[in-house]
Structure 1
């Protein structure tokens, strides 16, 4: 999977379960679209990439024109966010994007947040029909903090990607992840991407037993720079930043 968008890498994952209420300027009008997503509470590790994705559905039998606006961008210093539509994530400076959707069409929509250090922040997305002025507003909250060994016990009941160590590294780092014991095994992939979004290594791609796992990535054949490790299993997706210093 090689998705390069704007000047940042993006790896797309869609969640299609739950949406927020639609706010209409005219209460008698039926909404022309719906934005569905699983959760607006995003938990990520330090120095990583947080992603929020859902799907916009055109509910009407006619084409519609929508705008996606980043109304609020309350993030700590050195954090940035980007609006994403389809396979495109726009530059951080772009606060609004418009799109034409054909009848009964759908498109992925969300945010990428580049995290630098611990903390938390909120980005508000306002999606609205340019003709009917029907809005759907979502507050996306990013929560970030170190996950140390003393906290690992709290992760036993969910799939999780633990911080790699050492990081920065040269040329080997240990990548750790957990699969809860509530399941016997999970299909998952563990991949490494470079800063352009190209896959440079596949560490796992198949069925993995429950429990804590630790793998070593040897980057002796790679150049110094920033890389991303992605753990993907069903609707669960985690991304962390790795820094190779030679």
Structure 2
């Protein structure tokens, strides 16, 4: 009975977040870093590498692109820690496989550690005892620069509950738990060209979902390989593909 209920719940969801896609100059090298750091398998694709997620952990995709990094990314990953020793071990492991310490103006009393991967993408290793990421798993959060409107938009698109909605900051999380998607609210940094990170979502019916996304505030940009590219209400690109 429970299995039938789970299948029914999955079938009615019109979109499923497959991965956060990263443009990379050397996608396989960056994917190897993240596969080792997160202890995930890597699946070769025609233009890059996918680190599949599951019901509770968001997937990561690294695709070949020549775009140059200009300023901080509009999203970055937060890795959770179960203990102070675990946080230190994650930092040491990241540094040993090609990561680097990064200075972004963090305060001396802040306990998280800011690093970058081999392609310059910022990420944080969050201290143990952080209540917001408790129970979220190793990839605790995808932290995005964006307005409340975008948080509400993705809440509606993915049909994930709003687990935080205060002071223009929002966060959503799958009903199964796991990785949170969060938006920091204003001030939102100006967008500088095409984003180097995007959400890839799978849909059952491109035509039906295109109409639904448009009604929720998305802007259709172009037909792309295997699907359609849109922009969310803040102008951030994302792609829908057939499941």
TM-score, length-normalised on structure 2? 0.25
TM-score, length-normalised on structure 1? 0.25
Higher strand share: 1
- If you compute each CA radius of gyration, which structure gives the higher value, 1 or 2? 1
